[in-house]
Amino acid sequence: MTSRPTPAAAGAATAQPAPLAELRGISKFYGSIRALEGVSLRVDAGQVTCVLGDNGAGKSTLIKIIAGLHRHDAGDLLIEGEPTRLASPRDALARGIATVYQDLAVVPLMPVWRNFFLGSEPTKGAGPLRRMDVGLMRATTHRELLRMGIDLRDVDQPIGTLSGGERQCVAIARAMYFGAKVLVLDEPTAALGVKQSGVVLKYVAAARDAGLGVVLITHNPHHAYLVGDRFVLLKRGVMAGSHARSEIALDDLIRDMAGGGELEQLSHELERIPPTEAPAVPAARTEG
């Protein structure tokens, strides 16, 4: 005779793992200016959380809080279920949160391998003979980029010679190599064409499939819907919506981001007035 699991054991078996990162009611004020208020989102392993909004919606402030650049004024920031206040970007990196900014912070004239290890160069030798392990850096860079599907013939070429999409992919591969659990991407496709945007989204999906939790900041709902599992809409610092992919269609996401009801009201205001209802225009007076 087999015994049934107790309710507590059954609950433990079905319990969901804690999110890699979670924001609960986060607010940030700069004096009397509200940058964010009551914003919540969660980042799960193997999922892409998209944060959408126009300029001034609060996306940049949200990035700075997750990256450890700014501290939140209210609400809770949890890393793997543990409430925390990030002291600096280095603190965020130590906790597995890597942020790839739109400008990428690369040195264009330095080779790809040098940018890949910038600030974290491995060394060999000791004392006065200690030096950078260039061979290891070259081999590692080529291998890690190949894992992402980027087959560079020469990792010694200046990173500035790569396309915008390829530079983004190098930054993503670098974050993955250095142990990131949460990858925050700041408008990675904003300055790219359709083809290069597709390349970047392909590597966003690769990071997701590798088990990372990805936060994709974007103003492009089409790009977000291609890879997103969850969508958070920001408008003037507050949440305008939060939806799982199964709960919203692309057309509805575009409508909500564009202002939905406000656009409908504007369209009514801009409708042409039928000639029969148009007010009469008084005839011009002529002077004789």
Tens digits of residue pLDDT in 160-179: 898 888 888 888 899 889 98
CB-based contacts of 180, cutoff 8 Å, min separation 6: 93, 96, 97, 98, 212
CA distance 230 to 65: 20
pLDDT for residue 21: 93
CA distance 238 to 232: 10
Backbone angles phi, psi at 267, to 5 degrees: -65, -35
Of 189, 181, 179, nearest in space to 208 by CA: 181
**Is the CB of residue 96 less than 8 Å from the CB of residue 184?**
no
**Is the CB of residue 158 less than 8 Å from the CB of residue 110?**
yes
**Is the CB of residue 39 less than 8 Å from the CB of residue 27?**
yes
Tens digits of residue pLDDT in 77-96: 999 989 999 989 889 999 99
Q: Considering the domain boundaries, does residue 94 fall inside one?
A: yes
- Whether 12 shows a pLDDT value over 90: the answer reads no
Q: Considering the domain boundaries, does residue 218 fall inside one?
A: yes
Q: Considering the domain boundaries, does residue 12 fall inside one?
A: no
CB-based contacts of 242, cutoff 8 Å, min separation 6: 40, 41, 230, 231, 232, 233
Average confidence (pLDDT) over 99-125: 87
Of 114, 213, 211, 132, nearest in space to 170 by CA: 114
Average confidence (pLDDT) over 212-231: 93
Average confidence (pLDDT) over 258-271: 64
**Local confidence band at 129 (pLDDT 50, 70, 90 cut-offs):** confident
Tens digits of residue pLDDT in 265-281: 666 666 765 666 656 66
Q: Considering the domain boundaries, does residue 277 fall inside one?
A: no
Q: Considering the domain boundaries, does residue 189 fall inside one?
A: yes
Mean pLDDT of the chain: 85
CA distance 188 to 276: 52
Q: Which domain holds residue 254?
A: 18-107+166-258
Q: What is the CATH number of the domain that holds 39?
A: 3.40.50.300
**Local confidence band at 135 (pLDDT 50, 70, 90 cut-offs):** very high
Q: Considering the domain boundaries, does residue 210 fall inside one?
A: yes
CA distance 115 to 47: 27
Q: Considering the domain boundaries, does residue 9 fall inside one?
A: no
How many domains are contained in the chain? 1
Q: Considering the domain boundaries, does residue 71 fall inside one?
A: yes
Tens digits of residue pLDDT in 237-257: 899 889 999 999 999 888 887
What's the half-sphere exposure (Cβ side, CA atoms, 13 Å) at 73?
A: 13
- Whether 17 shows a pLDDT value over 60: the answer reads yes
CA distance 185 to 74: 24
